[in-house]
Structure 1
Amino acid sequence: MRADVTFRTGPSVLVEQETGTDGLEEDDMTGDVTVVGGGVAGLVSAIACAEAGVRVDLYEAHGSLGGRGRATPAPYVAHEGPHVFYSDLPHWKWLTDRGLTGPLGLPALRQAKAGFVRDGRLRPLPPAGLARMVLPGRPRTAPVDETFHDWAARRYGERTARAAANAIGVVTYDADTGRLSAAFVWELFRRVYAPAVPTVRWVVGGWQGVIDRMEARAGDLGVRIHTGTRLSELPGGRPVIVATELSSARGLLGDDSLRWESGHCVLRDLAVRSDRRDRLLAVDLDSGGFHEAYSMQDPTIAPRGESLFQLDMPVRAGESAGEARERLDALADLTVPGWRERTTWQRTATAKGRTGALDLPGSTWRDRPAIDRGDGVFLAGDMVAAPGMRGEIAIFSGIRAAEGAVRAVRRSAKAAARGRVG
């Protein structure tokens, strides 16, 4: 089932819909490689193929590129989910080597206030048990075949285990992160919270700025970009990279096995008149919610004198999106005091089945849908067999898919050359 995202701004309701036409003629596809999908994974795939000297046609069903990296137009530049990068994996170097990140932003020291919601109260420091989990000497890995809750509760206690699972809800978008593989959750928890040289990076203009630079890079390399065009079947005679959501890839490839666990959450983008009480970050240790300001490190994304936040709340099993939004509003009451009276703009969204890969006990990223599907078909996106979280998975899988497609093109060229000689 395809998961749409519904945005609400004021009284009107805007539903994101795919547009475009089916049934391109083979003559319209002149590239050596076809990329289906113009999100982060598709753009990375197209760039990597073109850099290897391969001609690329990229098809995107929507009227613009970017997928979940898209943002709303100025003056309020809001994204479909948190929009930071971490620089501790090679995907960051791949981006920076090509100048795709652009300038970086930092919050002023006076604005860099954090908070932790515990037992319904906003506190300036995490509980002692949670802090002890990231002290030096703690294990670097956890078991793959055990739930994070069971493993963490045995080592640190039940209450601390639940708080730690909720602390990483911003990455999983899951209301029961404790049910996931201990190895999966522990790696994410250490990346986000363990004391180290900070690796989080805020890019000015957010992911939309990165998408714009990717699109320009692809164009400079000669990638033919076709927006508003949906392919209903795979083109023959050339390698194809399918860089869509798994739900779309299932239909295009006719492969019902293309499934993986993902999250379900509600989000609220919220612009308010600035107040000295506003804070940069807040982690909801009770429910897995999260609050972050983006205008504090990047004033270009909101009008002067206003602060732009994003808050998210995982939807619990059996809970409606409306009930989850009530909990989200309660989080906003704590983290953005007086927000209802201060609001200048807002948008809500529900994300289900499109929030990145989650690994259940007994599984790792290597068990996710394989990138190489055989017969010159490759899969890329944020829920396939590549490491990292969300956008990182999309970037790594896009690079891997491109490498496979380029090898396939070169093998085909060599075979053709041998045939002509013979």
Structure 2
Amino acid sequence: MHRITVIGGGLAGLTAAITAAEAGARVTVHEAHHSLGGRARTAGGPYRTNEGPHAFYAGGPHWTWLRRRDLIGPLAPLPPLEAARLRLHHRGALRRTPPFALLRLLRPRTGPAPVDTDFRTWATGIAGEEGARAAAAYTAVALFHHDPGSLSAAFVQERLRRATALPPEAHYPRGGWGAVIDRMAARAWNMGVRIETESRVDELPGDRPVVVATSLPAARRLLRDDTLAWPSGRTVLLDLAVRTRRGDPFAVSDLDAPGWIERFTAQDPSLAPAGEQLLQGQFPIGPGESRADGLARAAHLLDLGFRGWRERVTWRREAVADGRTGAVDPPGSSWRDRPAVDRGDGVYLAGDQVAAPGVLSEVSFNSAITAVSLILGRPALDLKRA
């Protein structure tokens, strides 16, 4: 009978706990916050926000894993009329269709992009400078990075294809991601997992094995290991509640500079009080930029897409997410080069910046599954069928 300690009660920690408990292990989860969820935590209301725009991508193995356990729950489908209200900011104006050059990068015959070349260079050779710039900016919805064109071409291409897939891969759990976390927590409890909230761990426990399912900076401090580092994004997060007005777009993607703002009540009206709309946006900022710079870009996009938004605001929240938006791979590197899951001496990492494949939260899921497979001494699970 394995006894496993999990530090962190977010998506990675709960995935590890459930997987281990299903295999018969005794599991204890320590969560520093008073509630579970990490970055997948949903505010209690009346505005049910996540930490930045959130969506489940249905093409990943975590979708299958959650489905089989009935943990996703009811979804909030985007009405076709709303889906048609995606607007693109290009050349200073809002448009309904992307530039033709961008579409060249989505053709099946384009083939896989190289790992050791930056996306801007590779994409320019196929779609020209304008198409490459627009495509790189569009991937901000799945990158939260101020300069996607500087990253590995293979890394950015995968996210571009996932974000533009038809039918769309993005799905929205009704009630926000917190509803999924609640179902995962209930399953863990029912399987005998001991969950301790407001339980901050400042020293690595002597009892092993232990899964450290925290952010990478927190893991670095806990393990006192300065090698636990990997590039991430820095982005301004803006949440707004505005009074409803017919004609507001579903989402606006900035193709001139990375940025995205989405009306989440378009698919799930329960996220805000009646008569109000919930907008969530993210605007990546570079090393020399400030929160004010990101907010200025957000205001410009809102001016273009959401007429009279300033007079309609009923609630506002803003923040900067620094190093909390998932791993990004520079040219010449892939997920295999990130900090390894197995740290030796019975210590394992799980989270969205470690050596596991996937897009956004899929990395957390895949790393958690890998960690438990290593602990139990079993072959790594087939993540495509998990």
Tell whether 2:16 aligns with 1:45.
yes
1:136 and 1:223 mapped to 2: Cα distance?
Answer: 45
Counterparts in 2 of 1:294-305, with a 5 A limit? 294-305=264-275
- 2:382 equivalent in structure 1: none
Report the Cα distance in structure 1 between the residues aligned to 2:345 and 2:291, rounded to whole angstroms: 41
CA offset at residue 204 of structure 1? Answer: 0.4
Displacement after TM superposition at 1:323 (Å): 1.6
**How many equivalent residue pairs?**
377
Alignment partner of 1:104 out of 69, 72, 75: 75
Matched, 1:382 2:357: no
What are the superposed Cα offsets for residues 266-308 of structure 1, whole Å, 9 maximum, x if unpaired? 0111111111121112210011110111111111111112211
**1:153 is paired with a residue of what secondary structure?**
helix
Instruction: Give the superposition deviation at 1:65.
Output: 0.8
Q: 2:239: which partner in 1?
A: 269
Identity of aligned residues (%): 51
Deviation at 1:72, TM superposition (A): 1.3
Superposed CA offset, 1:360-406 (max 9, x none) = 00000111111111111110001011111221111111111122223
How far, CA to CA, are the matches of 2:214 and 2:19 in structure 1? 17
Letter in 2 for 1:188: R
Q: 1:88 Cα deviation (Å)?
A: 1.0
> Distance in 2 between the 1:364 and 1:202 partners?
28
2:322 to 342, 347, 352: 352
* Structure-2 residue corresponding to 1:135: 107
Q: How far apart, in 2, do the equivalents of 1:83 and 1:361 lie? A: 26
Residue 122 of structure 1 corresponds to 94
Q: How does 1:290-369 map to 2 (within 5 A)?
A: 290-369=260-339
1:283 lines up with 2:260 in the alignment = no
Q: 1-side partners of 2:337 and 2:10: how far apart? A: 23
**Of 192, 208, 225, the match for 1:222:** 192
The TM-score with structure 1 as length reference comes to 0.87
Gaps of 5+ in 1: 1-29, 409-422
- Supply the distance in 2 between the matched residues of 1:359 and 1:136 (Cα, whole angstroms): 23
Query: Which one has a bigger Cα radius of gyration?
Result: 1
Instruction: Decide whether the 8 Å contact of 2:119 with 2:153 is kept in 1.
Output: yes
* 1:109 Cα deviation after fit: 2.5
Q: Matched residues in 1 for 2:97 and 2:106: separation?
A: 14
2: CA distance, partners of 1:155 / 1:134: 10
Q: Does 1:95 align with 2:66?
A: yes
Aligned to 1:155: 126
Amino acid at match of 1:208: G
For 1:265 and 1:73, locate their aligned partners in 2 and report how far apart those are by CA, in whole Å. Answer: 23
Match of 2:7 among 32, 36, 39: 36
Task: Identify the residue that residue 27 of structure 1 maps to in structure 2.
Answer: none
**Structure 2 equivalent of residue 402 of structure 1:** 372
**In structure 1, distance between residues paired with 2:211 and 2:294:** 36
Tell me the distance in 1 between the aligned counterparts of 2:245 and 2:110. 39
Q: Is 1:65 aligned with 2:36?
A: yes
Cα distance in 1 for residues equivalent to 2:360 and 2:158: 14
The answer (yes or no) to whether the contact 2:61–2:362 under 8 Å persists in 1 is no
After TM superposition, give the deviation of residue 135 of structure 1 in Å: 2.8
* Aligned partner letter, 1:288: P
Matched, 1:85 2:81: no
Cα drift, residue 58 of structure 1: 0.6
Given residue 155 of structure 1, which amino acid in structure 2 is its aligned partner? Answer: I
The answer as to whether partners of 1:277 and 1:337 remain within 8 angstroms in 2 is no
Q: Counterpart of 1:134 in 2: which secondary structure?
A: coil
Give me the whole-angstrom Cα distance separating, in 2, the residues matched to 1:199 and 1:110. 18
Q: CA deviation at 1:106?
A: 1.2
Counterpart amino acid of residue 82 in structure 2: Q
What is the TM-score of this pair, normalised by structure 2? 0.95
Question: C-alpha displacement at 1:335, in angstroms?
Answer: 2.0
Q: How does 1:122-271 map to 2 (within 5 A)?
A: 122-139=94-111, 141-194=112-165, 196-271=166-241
Q: CA RMSD in A?
A: 1.4
Report the Cα distance in structure 2 between the residues aligned to 1:291 and 1:236, rounded to whole angstroms.
45
| Runs (4+) off by over 4 Å | none
Cα deviation, residue 31, structure 1: 7.6
What one-letter code is carried by the residue in structure 1 that aligns with 2:46? P
